[in-house]
Amino acid sequence: MIEKSKVSILGATGIVGQNYIQLLQNHPWFEIIDVAASPNSAGKSYEEAVKAKWQMPIPIPEDLKNLIVRDVLDFDSIPSNISFLFSAIKMPTKNQIKEIELKYAKKGIPVISNNSAHRWTPDVPMIIGEINHSHVNVIPIQQKNRGFSRGFVAVKPNCTLQSYLTAIYALEKAGYKIDKLIITTLGAISGAGYPGVPSLDIIDNVIPYIDGEEEKTEKEPLKILGSVEENGIINNDTMKISATCTRVPVVDGHMASVHMKFKDKAPNKDEIIKIWSDFKSEPQKLRLPFAPKRPIIYLENENRPQPKKDRDNDKGMALTIGRLRKDNVFDFKFVSLSHNTIRGAAGGSILTAELLKARNFII
Ligand code: NAP
């Protein structure tokens, strides 16, 4: 048996933090030994700090109930045997999050973050394991630029774009370059964290605006599809994306309606479904514990995917697609779905951590 990496969760009391607690139960490589949150929670037992807002379908794990929650800003109290940490904190400003994550990295601790603060830092990789696993190669550049020894920051992209981007990448990888995408997303309420959107605003309603979401959905793919150069990652801005992001009364599972136009020759419907169904990448080759066996699942039934029925496919790590059909304006359109707090947040970051461990960036 290999010794498990010892892990800390910053923001362990929040929605994403709770998902880490749930998903890392019995993880074969990782073990949580430290939890941290705001000064409101600091000093309390994890159970006391989280019990009033616990949202997971399992009880608070027995072995974590009595861990004393650290203040995220108390850098020196992190256990010295931590291998790496997951960051899922909310702070008043992005700069505060940036500073906190860099400070932990400077202490020699790899940081894998859900926050958007460092997504545009050129020497920080923004990883979806099935797409840009090679971007881990920017980590030595980051460590050299900043004088870090073992520490670094790696981030996970926005949850919304994960409901469609792997499908687009699979087509590009098969040689069918995409020219334009028009996307409308239907975002779940858990995407806003806890307590999130007030019930009177979201029940019986659709909110046609989520602050910052459209910009992230349109721009983050350009970095993810970019390449590692001498000083960092250079974006690939050959694809034009236009997004409308809405919030709908669904608890978990971000859905997207996607219209796509190819640059040159478009594949036919059967070819597209075959490309998606056959698609596998590095996490599957490396047999990483959180890698979905089939990263893209296509459902023929015309009333699927649905959040309630399909968000948990392959432990919440698969992208589920349906309704691929010809488009009268572009070439094709389809509907896709992914679990926002699993694939789009904690689960996606755990997969990144597994990739980084397999590549010896974390111990
Ligand atoms: P959340 O439920 O509001 O949780 C926020 C966490 O941050 C809590 O642990 C909270 O601790 C902590 N926190 C708040 N103020 C703090 C402070 N001043 N100092 C230190 N810690 C503080 O939010 P969430 O949905 O889990 O989101 C966390 C991060 O992940 C955000 O950056 C979010 O954008 C990102 N994200 C979320 C999703 C999603 O689907 N929810 C998806 C992708 C990315 P207390 O409990 O002590 O207040």
- Does residue 151 fall inside a structural domain? yes
Residues 48 and 190 in one domain: no
- 68-83 pLDDT, tens digit each: 999 999 999 999 999 9
Q: Domain holding 271: CATH number?
A: 3.30.360.10
339 is catalytic: no
Q: What does the pLDDT read at residue 1?
A: 63
Q: Report yes or no: 141 and 222 within 8 Å, Cβ to Cβ.
A: no
Catalytic-residue membership of 254: yes
Q: Which residue owns the Cα nearest ligand 1 atom 16?
A: 38
Burial of residue 143, with CB atoms counted within 10 A of its CB: 0-12 exposed, 13-18 middle, 19 or more buried: middle
> Do 310 and 280 share a structural domain?
yes
Q: Is the pLDDT of residue 104 over 80?
A: yes
| Cα 152 from Cα 147, distance rounded (Å) | 10
Choose, from 118, 133, 254, 339, the residue flagged as catalytic: 254
Average of per-residue pLDDT across 333-353: 98
Same domain, residue pair 153 and 9 = yes
| Protein residue closest via CA to atom 39 of ligand 1 | 191
Share of the chain above pLDDT 70, in %: 100
Ligand 1 probe mutation, 10, 16, 194, most atoms within 8 A of CB: 16
Atom of ligand 1 lying closest to residue 40 CA: 47
Are 286 and 358 spatial neighbours (Cβ–Cβ below 8 Å)?
A: yes
Q: Averaged over 175-203, what is the pLDDT? A: 96
Q: Ligand 1 centre from 183 Cα, in Å? A: 27
Residue 363 included in any domain: no
Q: Which domain holds residue 257?
A: 160-338
Flag whether pLDDT at 141 surpasses 90. Answer: yes
Asked if residue 199 and residue 170 are part of one domain, the reply reads yes
Mean pLDDT value across the chain: 97
- Number of domains forming the structure of the chain: 2
The letter for the amino acid at 51 is K
State residue 163's pLDDT score. 94
Tens-place pLDDT, residues 283-305: 999 999 999 999 999 999 999 99
Residue 132 lies in a domain: yes
176 and 321 assigned to the same domain: yes
Q: Which residues line ligand 1 (CB under 6 A)?
A: 11, 13-17, 37-38, 40-41, 72, 88-91, 114-115, 159, 190-191, 193-194, 340-341, 344-345
Ligand 1: which atom is nearest the Cα of residue 42? 47
Residue with tokens 């973050």: 113
In this structure, the chain runs to a length of 363
Q: Look up residue 77 and give its two tokens.
A: 């109290």
Residue 240 is assigned to a structural domain of this protein: yes
Give 2's pLDDT tier (boundaries 50, 70, 90). Answer: confident
146: in domain: yes
